[in-house]
Amino acid sequence: MKRTKKPISLSEQMKRKVSQAVVKKATYDGDTETMISTGSTLLNLAISGGRVRGGGMPAGILVEIFGPSGSGKTVLLSELAGAVQRQLGQIMFHDPEARLNRQFAKIFGLDMDDMDYNTPDTVPQVFAAVREWNPQPLNAIHGVFADSLAALSTDMEMGKEEGDKMGMRRAKEFSEELRKTCRILTKKKLLMVCSNQVRQNLDAGPYGQKYISPGGEAIGFYSSLRLRTYKPEKIKKKVKIAGKEVTRVIGVNVMIEVFKSSIWKPHRTAPLTILFDYGIDDVRQNLQFIKDYTKNTKYCLGRNGERPLDISMEESITIVEEKGWEKDLRNEVIDLWEDIESEFDSNRKTKKR
């Protein structure tokens, strides 16, 4: 028997319109006078390349990075935190799982002695600290980082109470704390970036969202930018030792999607290469981008092959780094990306009242 769709009442239509209006007001497009780099040229462009040359993350917003385990969430947080420090900003780093260590932080130029580092237990502890924080100087971008929200408990959980009320309380605490905190981020021009896990939504049904991030709907609601990381692919390296071939996993390739954005356009994607002992390999992805979107048969700087490098990726990376061409390479990628993006402009007439 064919199921007929139940008509939506007028009152329900009005409720939905009000809800949509509230959602639009709950996000902020950020202060783009100074941008923070993710460490990836292509990801910076995917986030805001159509608004600011080179893209990046603006101040004054809440960002959620969510995805499966091992997909680069902590790497992105650490890269952003290091970028804030290099621009003379202060760092508050919440680490509920106590996973950040000095050796890992050093990869990203992140100085743990020069940050407010803590290991909170509950949701209110994280956000209350943000509201009370007054970093100096006032004209710098300062960053708050939380890795990860899924590890935070509620006061009820800490009191050993269990049941359905616990899950409801967790979502309520996130909603209450974010509502009070997001306007502080905007006022103080703080960049707050949080990582979160992705979990299967068992109540989704055939047409619902199959995967959700923990903490209820408040995090997605208040985030101006949501980045989704997808399942990583292993990068393997083979070497010969004493005549025998040895293989090791040296990193991962990850695809990042701009899942939600009030900064620029959503649903742009960017590939990310993460090497375990190096971090984000921006040179590698930039070289590959130029080769993929030009007629060059080898790795080059310039879409017409003005500065040929090598047929080997590894040799090409070595040449770029030895000659100090990293900045030139980034600018080549930005120019090419902007030309490609311009082909998708609507070129429609501006609407008038």
- CA 69 to CA 317: how far, in whole Å? 29
In this prediction the pTM is 0.86
**Collapsing DSSP states into helix, strand and coil, what is residue 308?**
strand
Give backbone dihedrals phi and psi of 234, rounded to 5 degrees, phi first. Answer: -70, 140
25: helix, coil or strand?
helix
- ∠ Cα 202 70 169 (to 5°): 45
- Residues 45 and 55: their CA atoms lie apart, in Å, by 5
Give the model's confidence band at 25: pLDDT under 50 very low, under 70 low, under 90 confident, else very high.
Answer: very low
Cβ atoms 84, 191 nearer than 8 A:
yes
323: left (phi over 0), alpha (psi -120 to 50) or beta: alpha
Distance CA 25, CA 31 (A): 16
pLDDT tens readout for residues 269-317: 999 999 999 999 999 999 999 999 999 999 999 888 899 999 999 999 9
Q: What is the average pLDDT value for the chain, to the nearest integer?
A: 86
Q: What pLDDT is attached to residue 158?
A: 46
Residue type, 352: K
- First-to-last alpha carbon distance for the chain, in angstroms, is 48
**Within 13 Å of residue 79, how many CA atoms lie on the same side as its CB?**
25
pLDDT at 32: 75
Give alpha helix (H) positions in 247-297: 282-292
C-beta neighbour count of 44 within 10 angstroms: 25
Lowest-pLDDT range, 82-86, 156-160, 241-245, 312-316? 156-160
Dihedral sign computed on CA atoms, order 335, 258, 154, 72: negative
For residues 146 and 215, the answer to whether their CB atoms sit within 8 Å is no
User: What burial class does residue 180 get, using C-beta atoms within 10 Å of its C-beta: 0-12 exposed, 13-18 middle, 19+ buried?
Assistant: middle
Angstrom CA distances, 113 to 92, 126, 336, stand at 11, 20, 40
CB atoms inside a 10 Å sphere around CB 16 = 11
Q: Which residues, at least 6 apart from 52, have a Cβ–Cβ distance to it below 8 Å?
A: 32, 35, 58
| 3 state SS of 96 | coil
Q: Is 20 exposed, middle or buried (0-12, 13-18, 19+ CB in 10 A)?
A: exposed
Q: What is the largest CA-CA distance in the chain?
A: 77
The pLDDT tens digits for 152-195 are 886 545 444 554 455 577 888 999 999 999 999 988 989 999 99
Which of 8, 42, 21 is closest to 333 using CA atoms?
Answer: 42
Domains of the chain: 27-272 (3.40.50.300), 285-342 (no CATH)
Extract the tokens encoding 160: 């050993």
Give the mean pLDDT of 67-92: 94
Phi/psi at 136 (5° precision): -125, 155
